[in-house]
A and B are shown apart, each in its own frame.
Chain A
Amino acid sequence: MRDALRHVGLTCAMLAVAAPALAASSPSDPLKSVMWDILRDQYFAGAPVVFDAAVKVTAPAAAEDTRAVPLSVDATALGQVVEMVAIADLNPFPLVLRYHPGTAAPYIATRIKIQQATAVRGAARTADGVWHVSGVLVDAAGGGCSAPPASYAQKDWADHVGEVQARLWPAADDGMARLRLRIRHPNDTGLVDGIPAYFVETLQVEAQTPGGSPTLARIDSLEPVSENPVFSLDVRPPPDATALILRGRDNQGGEIRATIPMPPPGAKPAMSLKPVGQPWSVGQ
Chain B
Amino acid sequence: MKRLVTSLALAASLTAFSATGVLAADAGGPSSDDLLRSATNTEAVLTYGMGPQAQRFSPLTDLNADTVKKLVPVWSFSFGGEKQRGQEAQPIIYDGTIYVTGSYSRLYAVDARTGHKKWEYNHRLPDGIMPCCDVVNRGAAIYKDKIYFATLDARLVALNRETGKVVWNKKLQEYKEGYSNTAAPLIIDGKIITGNSGGEFGVIGMVEARDAETGELVWQRPTIEGNMGTLNGKESTVTGKTNASWPGDMYKTGGGATWLGGTYDPETKTLFFGTGNPAPWNSHLRPGDNLYTSSTLAINPDNGEIKWHYQTTPHDGWDFDGVNEFVSFDLKKDGKVIKAGGKADRNGFFYVIDRNTGKLINASPFVTKITWAKGIDIETGRPIYNDDNRPGAPATSDAHDAKGKSVFAAPAFLGAKNWMPMAYNPQTELFYVPANEWGMDIWNEPITYKKGAAYLGAGFTIKPLYDDYIGALRAVDPKTGKIVWEYKNPAPLWGGVLTTAGNLVFTGTPEGYLKAFDAKSGQEVWKFQTGSGVVGSPVTWKMDGEQYVAVVSGWGGAVPLWGGDVAKLVKDINQGGSLWVFKLPKA
Shortest distance in angstroms between A177's beta carbon and chain B's nearest beta carbon? 32
Name the residue on A nearest B151 (C-beta).
A252
Binds B, one of A59-67, A189-197, A238-246: A189-197
Contact of B82 (CB < 8 Å), options: A186, A190, A193, A198: A193
A216 CB to closest chain B CB (Å) equals 25
**One of B81, B126, B166 near A158 (C-beta < 8 A):** B126
Question: CA A188 – CA B124 in complex, angstroms?
Answer: 10
How many pairs of A and B residues are in contact by the CB < 8 Å rule? Answer: 37
Measured between alpha carbons, how far is A254 from B128 in the docked complex, in Å?
A: 18
Q: A157-B127, A158-B128, A252-B124 are in contact. Are A194 and B167 (CB under 8 A)?
A: no
Number of A interface residues, CB 8 Å?
A: 18
In the complex, A12 Cα to B157 Cα: how many Å?
44
> B124–A194 contact, CB under 8 A?
no
With A157-B127, A188-B124, A196-B124 as known contacts, state yes or no: A252 contacts B157, CB within 8 Å: yes
Binary CB contact string for chain B from 113 to 156 against chain A (1 if under 8 A, 0 otherwise): 00000000011101110000000000000000000000001000
Contact residues of A between 192 and 242, Cβ < 8 Å to B: 193-198
Partner of B81, one of A188, A194, A197: A194
> What are the nearest 7 A-B pairs in CB distance?
A253-B169, A158-B126, A196-B122, A253-B166, A198-B124, A194-B82, A196-B124
B528 an interface residue at 8 Å Cβ cutoff? no
Nearest chain B residue, comparing its CB with the CB of A198: B124
Q: Mark B97-124, 1 if CB is under 8 A from A, else 0.
A: 0000000000000000000000000111
Q: Is B168 an interface residue (CB 8 A)?
A: yes
Give 13 A-B contacts (CB < 8 Å), ordered by A residue. Answer: A152-B127, A155-B128, A157-B126, A158-B128, A158-B153, A186-B124, A188-B124, A190-B122, A194-B82, A196-B123, A251-B166, A252-B123, A254-B169
What residues of chain B lie closer than 8 Å to A155, measured between beta carbons?
127-128
A227 nearest CB across to chain B (Å):
13
* Inter-chain contact B168/A197, CB cutoff 8 Å: no
Tell me whether chain B's interface is mostly helix, strand or loop, or mixed. Answer: loop
- Measured CB to CB, the nearest residue on chain A to B166 is A253
Q: Return B321 CB to nearest CB of chain A, in Å.
A: 29
**0/1 per residue, A152-194, Cβ < 8 Å to B?**
1001111000000000000000000000000000101010011
Q: Taking A157-B127, A194-B81, A194-B83 as contacts, is the C-beta distance between A253 and B157 under 8 angstroms?
A: yes
**Chain A residues near B123 (CB, 8 Å)?**
196, 252
* A256 CB to nearest chain B CB (Å): 12
Task: Name the B residues within 8 Å of A197 (CB-CB).
Answer: 122
The answer to whether residues A253 and B168 also contact, given A155-B127, A158-B127 and a CB cut-off of 8 A, is yes
**In the complex, what's the smallest C-beta–C-beta distance from A16 to chain B, in angstroms?**
9
Q: Contacts of A157 on B, CB cut-off 8 Å?
A: 126-127
B155 to chain A, nearest CB (A): 9
Q: How far is the CB of A77 from chain B (nearest CB, A)?
A: 36
A186, B83: Cα distance in complex, Å: 20
Q: Which residues of A are found within 8 Å of B82, using beta-carbon distances?
A: 193-194
A188 and chain B: residue at smallest CB distance: B124
Chain B's closest residue to A195 (CB) is B124
Inside 8 A of B122's CB, which chain A residues have their CB?
190, 196-197
| Binary CB contact string for chain B from 148 to 188 against chain A (1 if under 8 A, 0 otherwise) | 00000100011000000111110000000000000000000
